[in-house]
Amino acid sequence: PTILCLPRSFDYSQKNAVLVPAAALGIGGLLVFWLRSRHKIKTIEMGDGWWGAGERPLKGKEDESIRPFKIETSDKEIEDLHRRLEQARYTPPLEGAAFHYGFNSNYLRKVVAYWRNQFDWRKQVEVLNKYPHFHTTIEGIDIHFIHVKPSYVPHGRAVQPLLMVHGWPGSFYEFYKIIPLLTEPAKHGLNGDDMVFEVICPSIPGYGFSEAPHQKGFDTIATARIFHKLMNRLGFKQFYVQGGDWGSRITTNMAQMLPQSVKGLHLNLIFISKQGLGRIISVMLGAYVPWLTGLTREDVRRVYPFIQKNIYDLLRETGYLHIQATKPDTAG
């Protein structure tokens, strides 16, 4: 994971910015970077939205209550799942195809057998309910989150609020093992002088136990705004944020939207935006006529093996991504 320690005045909105670890810059580099960027603060407009079913009510204030929530299942649900697993029909895979054409149905039989005969659904429900769960309604949809506070706070120590946002295909459960290290560091052999956090882990709308948006156009900026509203509703004017995958984009948008509220941003995935038709054409032509695109032979020697290994392979292995980006209702 890369910890970014960037000046508060960093211009997060620069589309062509490349984010690098602060340690790579050195103290002098950070100072120069800060001097050059301190007059370029730009933010994303927070705006507002409505994602509930139907038209937004013209009158009445949204219910801002925080409601306890408990994950539950029943014998009826489990029996229905077992019945559907037992009735699954499989198409034999091509001989020697392995996983080259998608999920191998021979292996899928083993996975389904595990779900049907070995996986303890009730035990998993108990594990999920280990921490306090809540619901609250924001912009017309119910937002699920867990909120874990430290059981003991050393005298004189301030508790720091930390919002942690998951990605795809993930959930709030990603953070279960690290939460005790953050809320009770001394119990886990960490330095007693370490910061103590209270942790808030929401489910992105449409994931886990958060209601899915009912309207078109939902994006990471809308999610960032909803999570700002969530933290404000919980009484936090300033807080730290952490994210990976979609959570990385969402928390970055949160820092862009209200930088005065985000005290620190930690990402374990970084989006590097080098956009534009001209850049795409340069990459395509660079391997053949590097002098035309401003590349040297050394650039070609270094860059194109990377593109062959990562970009082309990525295109071959992301059919699911194209389906989800263009026809998600079909997959659903």
Helix (H, G, I), strand (E, B) or coil at 265: strand
Domain holding 262: CATH number?
A: 3.40.50.1820
pLDDT band of 35, cuts 50, 70, 90: low
If one counts every other C-beta atom within 10 angstroms of the C-beta of residue 132, the result is 13
Q: Do residues 138 and 227 make contact, with C-beta atoms less than 8 angstroms apart?
A: no
Residue 139 and residue 267 in one domain: yes
d(CA 224, CA 231): 11
Q: Would 228 be classed as within a structural domain?
A: yes
Higher-confidence residue of 82 and 271: namely 82
Looking at the domain assignment, is residue 58 inside a domain?
A: no
* 196, 217: one domain: yes
Q: Is residue 36 part of a domain?
A: no
Same domain, 235 and 198: yes
Clarify whether residues 260 and 137 are in a common domain.
Answer: yes
Structure confidence at residue 152 (pLDDT) = 86
pLDDT tops 90 at residue 174: yes
Last residue of a domain, which of 91, 106, 125? 125
Q: Say how far apart CA 150 and CA 299 lie, in whole Å.
A: 51
Task: Assess whether pLDDT exceeds 80 at residue 193.
Answer: no
Q: Tell me: do 194 and 227 sit in the same domain.
A: yes
Domain enclosing residue 298, as ranges: 277-330
Given 221, 237, 271, the domain boundary residue is: 271
Count of structural domains, the chain: 3
CA distance 281 to 15: 18
Q: According to the model, what pLDDT value does residue 11 have?
A: 37
Say yes or no: 155 and 209 in one domain: yes
117-128 average pLDDT score: 96
Quote the pTM value. 0.79
Residues 90 and 209 in one domain: no
- Say yes or no: 134 and 232 in one domain: yes
Is the domain of 148 the same as that of 200? Answer: yes
* 9 occurs within a structural domain: no
CA distance 183 to 169: 26
Q: Which of 83, 99, 125 is the last residue of a domain?
A: 125
Task: Name the band, by pLDDT with cuts 50, 70 and 90, for residue 207.
Answer: very high
Strands of the sheet containing 133-138, edge to edge, are 67-69, 133-138, 141-148, 196-202, 159-165, 239-243, 262-267
Residue 37 confidence (pLDDT): 59
Q: Domain check: are 267 and 137 in the same one?
A: yes
Note the pLDDT tens digit of each residue in 213-245. 999 999 999 999 999 999 999 999 999 999 999
Q: How confident is the model at residue 40 (pLDDT cuts 50, 70, 90)?
A: low
The gap from C-alpha 216 to its chain's centroid, in whole angstroms, comes to 20
Q: State the average pLDDT for the chain.
A: 85
